[in-house]
Structure formats: structure tokens, C-alpha cells
Structure 1
Amino acid sequence: MTARPLVVLQSFPDPRPTTNPYIVMLADAIRRQPDVALRTFSWRNALLTRYDVVHLHWPETLLEGRTPLRALVRQLLAAVLLLRIAILRTPVVRTVHNLELPDGIGRRQRFLLTRFDRLTTLRIVLNEHTPVPPGTEAVTILHGHYREWFRDVPRRPQVDGRLAYFGLIRRYKNVQALVRAFSGMPPDASLQVGGRPSTPELAAEIAGLAGDDDRIGLMLEFLTDEQLVGIASAAQLVVLPYREMHNSGGTLAALSLDRPVLVPDNEVNRALAREVGDRWVRRYAAPLTTDTLDRTLAELRAEPPHGRPDLSARDWSTVGAAHVSAYRRALKPASARARAAAAPQPRRYSW
């Protein structure tokens, strides 16, 4: 008799054109693993079908709605899901994408998110420097690269002196500081900013800072893959000036396109530099200044990185297998998981 495959309910729905590529690549990598069935999220799947493990990514998205009534309905459904998980003792695996709860959420949402956290069996962290609560079980699985995702997307020739930022624009990503710092750069430098701002006010602020400087190109909208690759590949340096940077898909996207990045200096980015090479991951101590941008460009011109950054540890076949291993670990009794965690590991998925 053939054993029933392990059924995993993911917290994301079927992918759409605007879906985070990380989610799409993760789903594909898991589906390629033997003896696993992946189920994407719908309330019908979550409440009425059978599955062995729940994998949460950004659980706050389950609680949101376009209207207050729709949000309330989804929050009531989430409460029912929590009750089902508790009664059936379904293991919950949680990928820690963000360190804090989202800003601006209400008490009901905060309560539900706290309950999801309390029911979590095993956390997946994307780097070894992610803090987890005392006594919490966790496994490190690196964020996969984007090389296959962008493989067939046309690239543009690199432009000397071109700086670039791409990705969703939120206040903590500090794009305003990049535009301010760039304004003092020499005339032969240029800057391209692409991505959808989180609010109209933020878009207006960035446009105001750029003013009539024709060296600055703004594409303040959701980027297609072609637009993103065009911006990144034309750049001599991708600058991601986040005030807080812990897990950055934008950094990996730039490195997957063989472009060096300038990022804040912290323990996560120092570890990434050791992994892929210092010449690919340039770091600065805040605040970001014109001198920092000018000096980094000068260093790149004098000694550009050669070859490609080493992203071999981020192959999606490795990432997919590590996720399935985490699901099977979460299914074991707590005592067995503790023994497994204490035993020598033949292979680690970490920096």
C-alpha cells in the first residue's frame, strides 16, 4: 500500500501576477519534493479539508479585508481556524519574515496574531540572527535566490555611475534619504527609483525631493519583472537604504542579477557578505550620505567584482527539501523534536 503524502496547507492563495516571487518559487520547490502535497489557502481549504501541517507566512494578511465588514468576517473565520488547529492539534510551522507585529492593527487583530504565535510548533528563520522567544523551536532555512526566476527576462547594459533602488517603497525603506544623498553627487551620476509607494503622501514626498533633477528617474508604480530587471541590470550599484534590514528579498534579487548592493551595516548583512563576497555586499554606517555613495561608486570603478556572487547555498532544491524536513519535524512529539535538535546535524541550512 502506498503511504499517503504529507499534506501541507500554506497561508497564501493561488499565485497571481503580483504575488511575491518568493512564495511562487517556494511552492514550486515544495511540489517537486517526493511524498508531499501542497494546498494553497482558501477558507474552504482551511476549514473543511484535511491536512497535516499548517505553514504560516504573513498571518496578518488572513485578517485583512477591503471593507470593515469583510475584515470582521475574515477575523471570525480566523478564530474558527485557530479553534480547529487547537482541537485537532495540527502542527503550525511559521516562517519569521518580520520581527514585530504590523503597525496600526487593532486589538482584535493583535489578539488573533498572538494566538497564532502561541499555537506555533516550529519557526523557520531566514538567517541565524533572527531572535526567537526562549524555549521556541526554530530551524534556519536560507531565502532562495532569484536566478531561475529572472533567467529569461532581458537585461539592459550597465550604465556607468548609475545607482538604483527597486521594490515596494515604505517609510522604513528610507528611499527619501537616498534621493537626498544623491542630490549632491557629481553630474555624471544618475539614479533610478522604481516601486509602488505605500501611500500617496510618500509618493509626493519622493517626487518633491527629486524635483527637476533630470539625473533622477522615478517609476513610482508596481514593477513588472521586465521593469525590475531593467532597472537593476542598468545599475552599477543597487542601494537599499532601509532604516531596519533583517530579511531583504531586494538584496537577493540584485545579487541574483549579478549587481553589487549597498546596504546598512549590521550582523545580517555582514554574514551575507561573508557568504557571497565583500565586493558584492557593500555596507555603510547610517546615516546614508553623499560621500558614502560617491566613495562606493569610486571603489566599484577601481575594482569591480568579477564573476558572480556565490548563491549556491540558496538553491531552491535545497530550500524545498529543508522545508519538507521542517514539516516532518513539526509532526513529531515534542520530546522527539527535542532529541533531534540536540543530535549532531549532518547538514545545516544556514550561514
Structure 2
Amino acid sequence: MNVIFNPSENKENKYIDMLVNALKTAGYEVVPLDGLLSSWKHFKSIQLVHLNWFENLDESSKGATLKSFFRKLIALIAIRLGNKKLVWTMHNRISHEKKSGKWSNILSSLLIRWADSIVIHSEESRVRLSEISPIFLSKVVHIPHPDFIGIYGPILPSAAHELENPIKLVFIGAIKPYKNIELLIRLARKFPDSIDISIMGNPNTPEYKNEIQELGKGLPNLHLKFEFIQDEELPEILANSDLVILPYNLESSLNSGTVILAFSYQKTVICPKIGTINDFGKVNSAIFSYDYSTAEEHFEKLVDRINLALELRKTNPLIFEEMGQAMFSMVQEQNDKAIAGQKLVALYSKLLGGQPGGKA
């Protein structure tokens, strides 16, 4: 049975591979969205369409944004008129992007209304949907975000860090404005001797790359690696770091695969209380989490978390390893990738009225 899981592949995110492989193992033929309207025969063969990040639009220019919007709108209308089962995964609270936010929100509204099922990875997503309208809650299916244990290679022993050495912090992921990279540069400036910050990933535009480079000039404890991080590099990067720091925007962020990645490799995080963090409430003491209301308060809370980390390490030099172990145990239990795949297969089977693979 043909189904669309979009995107069907993503070199930068193994999340896609894990779920697509689970579907293929269950007997589904997973095809890309781009060919949806390639022929009438192919269109008729598609039974279900599952969309991820579909509301995100091309922001390279105003024309590109509008073109991207109308292409996606046409695809949504075709799915609707063709009576295809529609599944949407709610990854974010609202669009991260300011330029295309208006158009993105239109797509999000249609996805919420037209989807047969809405997959969520955190309970906060359910709250967000109830705020829009309680009628949408009947569509919600909670599937845990799959763990990344072993996906990028084995967990390596943490590098030995002397107590007098700076705490090594790392940011990993696409470099985008909503991730508040500027705050990390301010932190490096405020704690020149006690922290060491590495920022690793691809900037979303050359302009933003130049802006970050300019802001970070002259800071010996700031290390910028502006390129895609290869899969095989991740275990060593994480092993050589004490903490992963992710100062996300609470207005738009709900879930974070990077948080799950850190926990999967026995590292804890400094991160706002987004949905992913809140779902680990039972072991919240093993996460440097925080809330904030304004941009300046965000920075103050980050400073507070750094000071707490410094104090805790004085008391217990192994505290970061112990916190990382606690989060590894929790993600192993709560985010089992095999269970996530099974739940997705079960959802498809239910929507298609048959067994896995669409067989009645």
C-alpha cells in the first residue's frame, strides 16, 4: 500500500529514517510527496499522507515564500478532495519564522482542521490544541519522539575535565534566529574564564552567519563551526562536552530532537521549559531548565543556570555525568524508538481499516 511520509528522507535528521524504516518493515510502500500529482494512477494509489514541518515555507525571498505557500496549499486541497487520510505531526507551537509567519499559520490552521489524526510528541502540544479548540483533541495521538541511542554510533566515555577547567558547553543544530545564538555569545563574554562554548551547525543565511561571526569576535572561549555536523562526529562532540545548551524561543518551540539526542548520549541540557523538557518532569532536577518572559529575562535565567552548574560542580565533580545518566535512563524508558515505530504503524493501520501494511 502506497503512503506518503513527508519528508521521506532527511540527511540532517535521523528521526525521519527511524520512522520511515518502521513503516517499510510493516509493509508500507513509502513514496515522496513531490510525485503526488505526477499521474492520475499514482494519485489514486496513495491511501494516506503524513506531513511533517509542512507549514514551514521558503524564506529566501518574498516571491519564493508565496510560491512555496501556494504549492503546499494546492497539495493540501488535492489531498482533501482526493479523500486521502491525512496525518500531521505538530512539531512547533507556531512558525519559528517571522517573515512567513502569516502564510505558515494559514497552513497550520488547515492542517489542524483537515487532518484525520494529529501526532504529538509532548503533552504541551495537547494543551496548545485545546486552546485553539477542544474539538481537535479527538484527533490527537501521542507517539513518543524516538530516542537516538546508538543511531550515530556508540556512546563514548566523557573526556576527563579538571575542576579548575571551564565548563564545556555545546550548541548543536541549524543556526537560526529563534534559537537565540546571540545569548550564547553574551554568555561567553560574561563568563570568560569559567565556561567554554562551541556553536556547531549550518547558519540559515549567509547574513546571519556574518552577524554571529561579528558578534563573537575577540572571544577566546567561543568556538564557531559553521558547517553541517557529520553523523559520525556527534558521539565525540558530545563526549567532549559537559552540557548541551539550547536557548530556544518559548513562543514557538514545542519539541526538540536535539534534547532527545543529548539524553540519548548521556548528556543533560540547559534549555527552557519547552514541551520536550516538561515531559521529563519526574527527573527535572537532572535538567538545567528554566522559564522566562522577556528577552532580557531569558539571558538572566541563562546566567542563573550557569552559576548553578558551576556551584554544583564544586560540590560534586561528577554531577554532569550523573545527570546525563539519569536522563539516559529516562529517555530509554520513555522514548523507545521501537515503541514509537509500532505506535505509528498502529495509527496507519487504524486509519486505513486494516492490519499493518494496509491489509484488511
Quick check: TM above 0.5? yes
Moved more, 192-201 or 302-311: 302-311
Give the count of matched residue pairs: 321
Contact kept, 8 Å, 1:237 with 1:297, in 2: the verdict is: no
Deviation at 1:272, TM superposition (A): 1.8
For the residues of structure 1 that align with 2:114 and 2:303, how far apart are their CA atoms? 47
CA change 1:302–1:330 in 2 (3 A) is farther
User: Which of residues 89, 97, 100 in structure 1 aligns to 2:91?
Assistant: 97
* Matching residue's letter, 2:315: A
Q: CA deviation at 1:65?
A: 9.5
- Structure 1 counterpart SS, 2:76: helix
Q: Deviations over 1:217-237 (max 9, x none)?
A: 111222222344333221111
**Paired AA for residue 253 in structure 1:** L
The alignment status of 1:40 with 2:32, answered yes or no, reads yes
* Cα drift, residue 77 of structure 1: 5.4
The residue number in structure 1 matching 2:14 is 21
**3-state DSSP class of the match of 1:183?**
helix
Query: Structure 1 residues 299 and 66 mapped into 2: Cα distance closer, same or farther (>3 Å)?
Result: closer
Higher helix share: 2
Structure 2: where are the runs of 5+ without partners?
293-297, 354-360
Assess, with a 3 A threshold, how the Cα gap between structure 1 residues 260 and 121 changes in structure 2: closer, same or farther.
Answer: same
Distance in 2 of aligned mates of 1:162 and 1:77: 44
Superposition deviation, residue 23 in structure 1: 0.9
Q: 1:76 and 1:90, CA in 2 relative to 1: closer, same or farther beyond 3 A?
A: same
- Partner SS state of residue 190, structure 2: coil
Amino acid at match of 1:318: I
Q: Which one-letter code corresponds to 1:23 in the other structure? A: I
Does structure 1 residue 260 correspond to structure 2 residue 281? Answer: no
Deviation of residue 81 (structure 1)? 3.5
Alignment match, 1:145: 147
Over 3 Å counting, the alpha-carbon distance change for 1:243 and 1:43 in structure 2 is same
Mapped contact 1:241–1:263 kept (Cα < 8 A): yes
**In structure 2, what residue type is equivalent to 1:21?**
K
- Say which is worse superposed, 185-194 or 39-48, in terms of deviation: 39-48
| Letter matched to residue 150 of structure 1 | Y
Tell me how far 1:152 sits from its aligned partner. 4.5
Q: Which residue of 2 aligns with 1:86?
A: 80
Q: Which runs of 5+ in 1 are unaligned?
A: 1-5, 333-351
Tell me, yes or no, if the aligned pair for 2:5 and 2:51 is still in contact at 8 Å. yes
Taking structure 1 as reference, are residues 289 and 320 closer, same or farther at Cα in structure 2, changes over 3 Å only?
closer
Moved more, 151-160 or 19-28: 151-160
Deviation at 1:300, TM superposition (A): 4.0
Q: Which amino acid aligns with 1:309?
A: S
Q: TM-score, normalised by structure 1?
A: 0.79
Q: Quick check: 2:48–2:84 contact (8 Å CA) kept in 1?
A: yes
| Match among 162, 168, 173 for residue 162 of structure 1 | 168
Relative to 1, partners in 2 of residues 1:301 and 1:59: Cα closer, same or farther, differing over 3 Å?
A: same
What is the rounded CA distance, in whole Å, between the counterparts of 1:41 and 1:95 in structure 2?
A: 15
Within 1, Cα distance between the matches of 2:269 and 2:190?
Answer: 20
The alpha-carbon distance between structure 1 residues 229 and 45, as it changes in their structure 2 partners (threshold 3 A), is farther
Q: What is the rounded CA distance, in whole Å, between the counterparts of 1:155 and 1:235 in structure 2? A: 11
**For the residues of structure 2 that align with 1:86 and 1:103, how far apart are their CA atoms?**
28
Please state how far the C-alpha of 1:126 moved relative to its aligned partner. 0.7
1:298 is aligned, of 291, 308, 311, to: 311
- Computed over aligned residues only, the root mean square deviation of the Cα atoms, in angstroms, reads 3.1
1:97 positional shift: 0.8
- 1:134 — aligned with what? 134
The 10-residue stretch of structure 1 (232-241 or 193-202) with the greater mean CA deviation from structure 2 = 193-202
C-alpha distance 111-46 of structure 1, shift in aligned 2 (>3 A): farther
